[in-house]
Amino acid sequence: MQLVYGIILAIIISYIAYRAHSLTKNGAFMATLIGTVIFGIGGGQWAILLLTFFITSSALSRAFKNRKQALSEKYSKGHERDAGQVLGNGAMAALFAGLHAFYPESIVPWIGFAASLAAVNADTWATELGVLNPTPPRLITNLRKRVEKGTSGGISLWGTGASLLGSSLIAFLAALLTDHWSLFLLITFAGLAGSLFDSFLGATVQAMYYCPTDKKETERHPLHTCGRETVHIRGWKLLNNDWVNFACGAFGVVVALIGFAI
Ligand SMILES: [Zn+2]
């Protein structure tokens, strides 16, 4: 029965998000699939965590629109999330919901699930709120170097603060819903670590392109917002933003599980 409710809830939420232009059509299908696994297997408390991530991220993507307009050419995608982004952010969480079906008594799937969501939530909050930082961000691999706002690998006080808040919100719910308060610090730390790892990949091995018309670095490929074809300048071509998001969640999971084990 829970599976039926799960499918219905996943369809309703994905449809609303699609109509609100938070998801593309493919993104909505993928979100329905991932939502069904998480709601259907995990049930209520798992749904609360996933929806907290989904709703706050979608809302923050819309906030401060004017300030972000100038930056949208840098990011690989607009605020309508497609199937790749949904998978990058949610595949890890769905995997642990699946594990919960096999090990219903174990807390480990819940820790992995919460840590992956804390990491992608921290990363999204940092991206969306970091633009409010009054000064340009610094490169995570060389803190003395300032980079343009929106540059992958750039970190700021506002962005890191937002990251900590985004992570601790998921961690707080993960602790509250299971009454395991030792999870609060563990998940908060894991989420923050995942989001910093995301910035580190952005500064080092993430695929980066260049628009010859605007003379700017961008994640967009093959075409820039201006319509010009972008040229690969650094990073692994396979490691696009979706894979970096996936790695962000996976790193959060690894940190949380090591922390839990020791
Ligand atoms: Zn351009």
Q: What is the pLDDT of residue 92?
A: 97
Whether residue 212 contacts residue 182, with contact meaning beta carbons closer than 8 Å, is answered with no
Q: What is the pLDDT of residue 111?
A: 98
Q: 20 CA to middle of ligand 1, Å? A: 28
Between the CA atoms of 166, 167, 172 and 178, what dihedral angle is there, to the nearest 10 degrees? 130
Q: What is the distance between the alpha carbons of residues 147 and 156, in angstroms, rounded to a whole number?
A: 10
- Cα 184 to chain centroid distance, Å, stands at 19
Q: 226 CA to middle of ligand 1, Å? A: 4
In this structure, the number of other CB atoms found within 10 A of the CB of residue 229 comes to 12
DSSP 208: E
Q: 89 CA to middle of ligand 1, Å? A: 27
Q: 223 CA to middle of ligand 1, Å? A: 8
Q: What is the pLDDT of residue 26?
A: 95
Q: What is the distance between the alpha carbons of residues 173 and 161, in angstroms, rounded to a whole number?
A: 19
Per-residue pLDDT of the chain (262 residues; tens, 9 = 90+): 889 999 999 999 999 999 999 999 999 999 999 999 999 999 999 999 999 999 999 899 888 777 777 677 777 666 789 999 999 999 999 999 999 999 999 999 999 999 999 999 999 999 999 988 999 999 999 999 999 888 889 999 999 999 999 999 999 999 999 999 999 999 999 999 999 999 999 999 999 999 999 888 888 888 888 889 999 999 999 999 999 999 999 999 999 999 999 9
Q: 71 CA to middle of ligand 1, Å? A: 12
Q: 214 CA to middle of ligand 1, Å? A: 5
| Closest among 51, 8, 37 to 97, alpha carbons compared | 37
b/e map of 131-157 (b: 16 or more CB within 10 Å)? Answer: bebeeebbbbeeeeeebebbbbbbbbe
Q: 70 CA to middle of ligand 1, Å? A: 12
Q: What is the pLDDT of residue 220?
A: 87
Query: Encoding tokens for residue 185?
Result: 């610090």
b/e map of 183-221 (b: 16 or more CB within 10 Å)? Answer: bbebbbbbbbbbbbbbbbbbbeebbbbbbeeeebbbbbb
Backbone angles phi, psi at 208, to 5 degrees: -125, 145
Query: Encoding tokens for residue 69?
Result: 């307009």
Q: 67 CA to middle of ligand 1, Å? A: 19
Q: 128 CA to middle of ligand 1, Å? A: 22
| Residues in Cβ contact with 203 at an 8 Å cutoff, skipping those fewer than 6 apart | 139, 140, 141, 152, 153, 154
Residues near ion ligand 1 (Cβ under 5 Å):
211, 213-214, 224, 226, 228
Q: 228 CA to middle of ligand 1, Å? A: 6
Q: What is the distance between the alpha carbons of residues 38 and 114, in angstroms, rounded to a whole number?
A: 12
DSSP 1: -
Q: What is the pLDDT of residue 45?
A: 95
Q: What is the pLDDT of residue 177?
A: 96
Q: 77 CA to middle of ligand 1, Å? A: 14
Q: 140 CA to middle of ligand 1, Å? A: 25
| Closest among 243, 234, 238, 225 to 203, alpha carbons compared | 234
Q: What is the pLDDT of residue 221?
A: 87
